[in-house]
Structure formats: C-alpha cells, structure tokens
Structure 1
Amino acid sequence: MAETPALVLGIESSCDETAAAVVAGDRRILSNVVLSQLDDHRPYGGVVPEIAARAHVSHLDGLIRRALDEAGVTLAEIDAIAATAGPGLIGGVIVGLTTAKALALGAGKPLIGVNHLEGHALTPRLVAEVPFPYLLLLVSGGHCQLLAVEGVGRYRRLGTTIDDAVGEAFDKTAKLLGLGYPGGPAVERAAAAGDPARFALPRPMIGRPGCDFSFSGLKTAVRETAAALPQPLAEQDKADLAASFQAVVGAVMVDRTRRAIALMPPGSPLVVAGGVAANKHLRARLEALAAATGVPFVAPPIRLCTDNAAMIAWAGIEHFRAGRRDPLDLKPRARWPLDAAAAAPGAKA
C-alpha cells in the first residue's frame, strides 16, 4: 500500500504578506492564501515594520483557518507545521513563528522553522522534478544572490550584492520616477512603452571577475539622468528611463549568472526565484542565457515567486522527510544567511 504523502501547514509573515498554505508531499498545493498589505504601506512608499507586524497579528489566525478549510483538512490531519523563522522584519517573523509554536503545542504536531530564503530556493522542486545540484539566482526586494543548491540545507553562495538588492533598486527607481508602489511591477509596466536604448546608463560589474552584483551606482545614474531632463518629467521620459534601467539590470543579471554557470557541474539547471523573478523581461533574458549555455531553465509560476506560504510548507516537507524537527524554544532571526560560511560584504540575510 502506497504511503500517504505528508501534509504540512505553512505560515509566512517575514515582510508585508500574511500567508498560510497546506501542501502535500506529492506536490499538491491544497490551499495557498496570501493577504497583501500593499494598501497599508502605499502611502509611505515602502514597508513600515510596525504596520506590517500589527497586520500579521490581526489577520494570521483567520488566514490559517481559511487555508485549512480550503484544503478540506483539519489541524489534526496535518503532519507538521512549518513557519518562517527568519530572515525578515523581526516583528513579523515573531508573529508567525509564535503562532506556529502555539498550534504545534496545542495539536501535538512537530514544528519546523524554515529559512525564508530556503523557501524560495526549494520552490522549483515544488513545481518540477529538479535534481540537485542546481544554480539559484535569488532576486527580491531584500536579496540578490547566486547560490549553488547542493541539497536540502546545503547552499554555497557564489555571489551577492555589495550594496542594494535588485528589488530595492527597482523600488527606488520607481519612487524617483514617480511610478508608484510597489516599484517592481510599476517599472515593468512603464518600461513596456519605453525605448531601452535612449539612455546610456552604466552597467555595474559587467566583465569583472566573480559573480557579485552592484546596483547603487545604477540607481544614482538614473537619478542624475532624470534630474538633467526638463521638469516635471514627461511620461515618455519616465518610460524610456524605466526601460533603460530594466535593460541594464537584465544585462547585469546575464553577465553575473553566466559566470556562475561556469562554476557549476555541467548541465546543472538554472533556477530563478524571488519576487523579482516575476519580471517577464528578466525571465526572458535568463531563459535565453540558459538556452545559449545548454542548461535547463526553471522558473516557478509568478504566484509562487512572490512571498507565499506554499513555499514555506514545501521547505518544511523537504526537512520533514529528512527527519528534522525543531524545539518549541526555536528563536526567530532577523538575519539568517543560507551559506553561513560565506563572507558577507553588504549581505542582507
């Protein structure tokens, strides 16, 4: 008789999405409920940690009930509870992890604390049979890293940003150009109507040894270019600057990732994950790179690129299968690098 796949409840609260999901070990996502706080933070042009933490407190219990109801299961039928234990905004992490501890204690279920970055890193294995090792480009508002994913819990960092994360650069560019919040989708929308060749922006780190990134100088160049144009900026100027910025980011990603591919065993898949992986231009550039270098390309569906609880539940399943369980005094962590041995110039995790 076939073994029943594990059922794991996942909880995510590391930033400005409150999320709960139920995922089965055979890759079925039985529910994946995400409550966005965009409207709460939009007036401030960015995430306000105190507002985010309060929203998690207000909504998480109801989202967990909804996730269980949509999955058609009770808490008693869940095999383990997985929650983000870091890195992230510490107030939000505390809310999610404390809730998971209470549920685990009350229901007598194992607790698994998940590294939020590992949730992104393992998402490709939720949607496809992706073997280890693979190269992961992790790009989000707070992170920009190239990692060799060698197994569950085994990560080797090949490159990281030395200043801004790429998502942060998108957000700051959007704010500078008055494109709205959140910045990533706003820049992508504006760029669709722009000329990416109009402005000769710098292409930081391209051609340099290693796999590190830098976006601070590019952000400064966008600001200086915008300041030199007639004010207020015309809509076409904004679109052309957005398109030029996005094209440079794509070129930088391709250059850095090409170098990392050369450091991996031949044929290792290239995987892109994180919120910025939802950008269609960047996906297309990376997919073309994979084709040119002869490696498989895997990008999770856009709904699984941004923060969600299904990825946390799946990472929990991977660890549950490996026999890992965490104590109820597990501590939340604001910082938690996947590769603890790596040097951390400018690292955000």
Structure 2
Amino acid sequence: MMQIETIVCYRICRQFMHHVVRRRIQHVRLGSSLKIAMNFMYHRRYSSKVTGIVLGIETSCDDTGCAIVDSNGKILGEALNSQQQIHLNHGGIIPPIARDLHKQHIEHVVHDALRIASIELSDVDAIATTVKPGLPLSLVVGMNYGKHLSRTSGKPLIPVHHMEAHALTIRMVQKVDFPFLVLLISGGHCLLAVVQAVDKFLLLGQSLDDAPGEAFDKAARRLKLRNLPEFRTLSGGRAIELAASKSTDPQAFEFPMVMAQYRDCNFSMAGIKNCVRRHILQQEKLHGVEGDELIPDVFNLCAGIQMAVTRHLCQRLQRGMEFVTLQNLLPRDNKTLVLSGGVACNTFIKRAMGLVCQHMGYSLAVPPPHLCTDNGIMIAWNGIERLCADIGITHDLDSVDIDSKCPLGEDWTDKVAKASIKCKWIKLTPLLKEHSTSQE
C-alpha cells in the first residue's frame, strides 16, 4: 500500500513542486507520504539541486526525436520516429525526404512525449531544440516547431549545438566533472575536444573528409551487405561490426597507416575508403564476382575495415592525450575520456578506446547505446545544463537561426600541429587475440 501511495504522490508532486517553485511559495505543509515522494522524485545520484524541466527537440538529420527531462537526469517522456529503413532503401539520406518526414511526424512525436510524461506544455520550464550543425532542411523543421511551442506557451527557447549535446549527455547518467576530454564519432562528425564548461570547448582535432560512420556506410553499400538477409535492416556501421564479428582472419587484408606523416589530431577516412575500394575490385576480379554477388572473403574484409578505422581513431586520440598532458589541460590525477556519438555503440571501438585509456591513465565514460545515437533526450539534457548555468536562454525568437556547418568551440588544431608530438603507438593486438579466442 505504501508503494502505491508513493507512486501516486510521485506523479502528483511533480506538477505540485514546480507550481511551488515557480510561485516561490515558502511555507507549505506536506504530509509524510508526499514528503517521501518528493524526496524520491528529486533525489539525484550526485546532486539534489532542482531547477526545472526541459522539452528537447532533435531533427538534425533523419530522426525526429522529442524528450522531456528534469534537472535530476530523469527522463519523464520520450518519443522517436526513425527514418532509417526508408533511407536504407534509398541507399542513403535524401535531404528533401528527411525534411518531409520530419514535418509529417514532429507534432505527434512531441505530443507523444508529453503524454508519456503525463504533463502539459505549461509544466515545462523551457524548450530546447537543435539548430546546429546538421542538414539544413531537417534543422529548419525542428527549429520552427520549437519556436512555435515557445511562442504559444510563453516559455523561453534554448538553441542547442548538436555535438555539444552529445558531449554532455554522459553527465546525465554519470558523475563527470569539467574539464574532460571527449571523442565524438558519428555518421557526420569526428571531433576530439577538451570540454571546459557547458559552453566552452577546445577543439583538438576534426574530420577532414568522411566521418567514421559515413565511411562504414559507404563500405557496407559497396560490399552489398544488404543482399544478405541478416544485414538488410541494419545501418552500414552496425552491418560492418556484425560482419567483422564473423571474421576468421581479421588480418587477411592490409590497410596503410593513415596520415602517419601529420603530427596533429585531425581525422581522415579517405585513405581507408580508397583502400577498401581497391581490395573489393581485386577480390571481384579474382573471384569473377558479378551483379549482386558478394566477394567470398567479405567478413574478413569487414574486420580489416573496422580495424583500420579503429587504429586511426586510437592514434589520433593518443596524440591528443599527449597534447593535453603537455598543456596541463586536465587534472593529472583525474583524467576522463568521454566517448559518444552513434559510432560509440561499436563494441570493438569501445574496447580499443578502453585499451588506450588504460595505457594513458584515463578513465573511459560512455553513455548507454540509446543515448549515443541521435535523440531528443540529449537535446533536453543540454537544455537542462544551460538552464542551470543560465547560458543561451532566450525569448527573442527572431534572433535564433540554423547553422548547418557550425564548428565546435575554440579551434586549437593548429596548436596541436605546432607541438609536433611524436608517439610510440599503443598496440591493439590484444583485441585481435581476443577475437581469435572467441572464434575458436
């Protein structure tokens, strides 16, 4: 009975407490059950500060997401409409189609999130929406709907940088204090930065061409993995990972060290992509592969691709860690690497990053997979972070616009290059040995 009473009071006090906070009512008598429920409602693993509720909207690419999050990191409601299968059928994301699907679904996605949270729009304290970077046609839909909600409810708008949101999501589920190092790897981005505050980032490295997720997607298409039933509904990155796990010889194909002559932290997948193309053409010619047929050694090639991308990421990361130590940018006794973005769901890459962290004296923090991919939760949480810090909150809706190619923070990439740090690379061979053991 006590449990049922607490759950009921939990739902009641969520709205009641915000009524009290907004109106600054100081003398309120509460029954014992309501006190218990309020303590439960506002208990956070590492903080008890209460500041509000934010509704977040995400439409930077091909997923229409909305979530409602409170300042304790509790997800009150979430809804997501994925366009993945539609774009897989088209062989890639078609921006006008993505825009039209966002327009078609955004209203009911937002309504579903509010319904699941059992609150009204008037109960939230701010509207957060992604405005940069991303596909312009997609960003506009989310921004306009966010402005619409802000205008009709009278709530302030919080414009959000998509990659900053990825970087800070970990703080919703784990105690990670500023400053920390973050590696953001996704379908559209590859960024290495020091996060000094909610709105202060030092960019150490960025992708010069394809991002890791994009490279995986292109490789999966060229390898025709979708012709196998088990890969038909998977993204390119997930298909490559699954295929690689079936490999019997991950070192069957050779890949060159990428950008070995450049002593910076920038990333490039062009060399790996060209090498993949050469391997496929050679294998197709060797085995007389035609039409929809796959090369016989496709699983081993996928393992080679995954290893090549992982090795490149780890080497650029290692140099970034050396630079951080040289510049004393993180506490020497409390260094954390946050790994986030869609490609951070790749188990092999996570294990490799763990190996680098172990050697470099870092702790590794990775959000759970459903928070690594694009979603409304990370946007709502970034809104909470900004609400707590009183940063970037506005009622001037006309001043808010999209920026499809917005950089992340202050650019320190030249400083890294000028440091010209030479590294003795951490070997990833233990991962290959683990793979061989698992196949026996």
- Give TM-score, length-normalised by structure 1: 0.94
Supply the distance in 1 between the matched residues of 2:112 and 2:138 (Cα, whole angstroms): 20
Residue 335 of structure 1 corresponds to which residue in structure 2?
405
Instruction: Give the alignment's Cα RMSD to 1 decimal.
Output: 1.7
**Structure in which a larger fraction of residues adopt helix:** 2
- Among 39, 43, 47, the residue aligned to 2:93: 47
* Mean CA deviation greater in 101-110 or 39-48: 39-48
Contact 1:143 1:165 in 2 (8 A): yes
Contact 2:206 2:267 in 1 (8 A): yes
Residue 204 of structure 1 corresponds to which residue in structure 2?
258
Instruction: Could you tell me which runs of 5 or more consecutive residues in structure 2 were left unpaired when the two chains were aligned.
Output: 1-25, 27-47, 227-233, 325-329, 415-440
Residue 238 of structure 1 corresponds to which residue in structure 2?
298
Q: Identify if the C-alpha distance between structure 1 residues 125 and 41 changes in structure 2 by more than 3 Å, giving closer, same or farther.
A: same
Bigger Rg, structure 1 or 2:
2
Residue 313 of structure 2 corresponds to which residue in structure 1?
253
C-alpha distance after superposition, 1:301-336 (max 9, x if no partner): 000111001000011111111223122111111111
* Mean CA deviation greater in 10-19 or 321-330: 321-330
Residue 183 of structure 1 corresponds to which residue in structure 2?
236
Q: Percent same amino acid at aligned positions?
A: 39
Supply the distance in 2 between the matched residues of 1:3 and 1:143 (Cα, whole angstroms): 33
1:110 aligns with 2:170: no
Aligned positions, number: 344
1:292 aligns with 2:349: no
Residue 210 of structure 2 corresponds to which residue in structure 1?
164
Deviation of the 1:206 alpha carbon: 4.2
Deviation of the 1:203 alpha carbon: 2.3
| Secondary structure, counterpart of 1:257 in structure 2 | helix
One-letter amino acid of the structure 2 residue matched with residue 331 of structure 1: D
Deviation of the 1:15 alpha carbon: 0.4
Residue 146 of structure 1 corresponds to which residue in structure 2?
192
Residue 420 of structure 2 corresponds to which residue in structure 1?
none
Instruction: Could you tell me which runs of 5 or more consecutive residues in structure 1 were left unpaired when the two chains were aligned.
Output: 345-349
Residue 98 of structure 1 corresponds to which residue in structure 2?
144
Supply the distance in 1 between the matched residues of 2:119 and 2:322 (Cα, whole angstroms): 46
1:271 aligns with 2:338: yes
| Secondary structure, counterpart of 1:200 in structure 2 | coil
Higher relative contact order (CA 8 A, sep 6+): 1
One-letter amino acid of the structure 1 residue matched with residue 408 of structure 2: L
Contact 2:55 2:128 in 1 (8 A): yes
Contact 2:68 2:114 in 1 (8 A): yes
Supply the distance in 1 between the matched residues of 2:360 and 2:207 (Cα, whole angstroms): 24
- Among 265, 274, 277, the residue aligned to 1:220: 274
* Mean CA deviation greater in 156-165 or 97-106: 156-165
Residue 437 of structure 2 corresponds to which residue in structure 1?
none
- Where in structure 2 are the equivalents of 1:285-324 lying within 5 Å? 285-324=352-391
Supply the distance in 2 between the matched residues of 1:296 and 1:279 (Cα, whole angstroms): 18
Contact 2:251 2:304 in 1 (8 A): yes
Q: Identify if the C-alpha distance between structure 1 residues 114 and 18 changes in structure 2 by more than 3 Å, giving closer, same or farther.
A: same
Q: Identify if the C-alpha distance between structure 1 residues 93 and 342 changes in structure 2 by more than 3 Å, giving closer, same or farther.
A: farther
Residue 347 of structure 1 corresponds to which residue in structure 2?
none
Contact 2:51 2:387 in 1 (8 A): no
Supply the distance in 1 between the matched residues of 2:171 and 2:261 (Cα, whole angstroms): 32
Deviation of the 1:134 alpha carbon: 0.8
| Secondary structure, counterpart of 1:56 in structure 2 | helix
| Secondary structure, counterpart of 1:23 in structure 2 | strand
C-alpha distance after superposition, 1:97-121 (max 9, x if no partner): 1101111111110100001111101
Supply the distance in 1 between the matched residues of 2:349 and 2:389 (Cα, whole angstroms): 34
